[in-house]
Amino acid sequence: MSNRTIGIISHVDALKQRISAQIHVNKGSDGYGSLKIIHGS
């Protein structure tokens, strides 16, 4: 398993307007993370 980091510059308003989905990442107490993708309209 490889560790990967993905970055989005979310403070740029023009970029936020073009991306309709949000990715929420939560780190669990066991050290593993989970992510949830929320699709906008």
pLDDT at 9: 67
Tell me the per-residue pLDDT of 1-20, one tens digit each, with 9 for 90 and over. 567 777 766 677 777 777 77
> pTM, whole model, 2 decimals?
0.44
Domain locations in the chain as residue ranges: 15-41
Tokens for 24, please give them.
């929420």
- Which DSSP state fits 14? H
Residue in 11, 6, 10 with CA at minimum distance from that of residue 21? 10
> Hunting for tokens 């993370």 — which residue is that?
33
Q: Would you list the DSSP string of 16-34?
A: HHH--EEEEEEE-TTS-EE
